[in-house]
Amino acid sequence: MTPQDASQSNEALCRLAPVIPVLVIDDASKARALAEALVAGGLPVLEVTLRTPAALDAIREMAQVEGGIVGAGTLLTPEDVAAAKAAGAKFGVSPGATDILLDACEAADLPLLPGIATSTEAMRLLERGYTVQKFFPAEANGGVPALKSIGGPIPQVRFCPTGGVSPANAPAYLALSNTLCVGGSWVAPKDLVAAGDWAGITELARTAAALPRS
């Protein structure tokens, strides 16, 4: 898979909904119901971060949900890429980007949404062919003003900002011309997941799915 192909694929995914849920899952037995609740609310693209022992099992469960497209976040190594692909991940997300990780994703035909924090990092990825990138951690890196400023000299790149994005600031990010969607965890709060309040999560998803974009 070429970087151009990966960017085209991820742009299509990012356009499916204004919010990609960023999920840290501790109990894989709840993964399928969680995915069904989010998809029912209008958020079909799901990122499961590889931060817990249950993550790969959760991806396997979510990959079976009709209408859902599950990807693996926090990809750091080629081993992460192979494990995510084997579990059924359709795309990958990384906090940053190294040549080794990019090579592994391209070889595995796993579309990567690579993370950047600076203009230089964005330019290096653009030079390789990645026109769709993740801005992370968004709020810690200056938030909406920073992302808007990056868009001035580098208009070819579109972003999915994550990290500190909330219902309060998501509309401002989505109003930027270089933002395709945002990533956020607020649509699946741990207390609702633990309680199995799938109706509550569907309602949060429905509200997020209705956020306007530029």
* pLDDT at 214 (0 to 100): 84
- The answer to whether the CB of 32 falls within 8 A of the CB of 58 is no
**Which residue, among 114, 113, 107, 149, has the nearest Cα to 14 in the 3D structure?**
113
**What's the CA gap between 118 and 60, in Å, rounded?**
34
134 is catalytic: yes
pLDDT in tens, the chain (214 residues): 999 999 999 999 999 999 999 999 999 999 999 999 999 999 999 999 999 999 999 999 999 999 999 999 999 999 999 999 999 999 999 999 999 999 999 999 999 999 999 999 999 999 999 999 999 999 999 999 999 999 999 999 999 999 999 999 999 999 999 999 999 999 999 999 999 999 999 999 999 999 999 8
CB atoms within 10 A of CB 175: 14
* pLDDT at 21 (0 to 100): 98
Judging by beta carbons within 10 Å of its beta carbon (0-12, 13-18, 19+), is residue 14 exposed, middle or buried? buried
Catalytic residue selected from 36, 47, 61, 106:
47
121 is catalytic: no
Catalytic residue selected from 30, 85, 90, 134:
134
- Alpha helices, H only, 129-197: 143-151, 170-174, 190-195
pTM passes above 0.85: yes
Angle between helix axes 78-87 and 55-62 (nearest 10 degrees) is 40
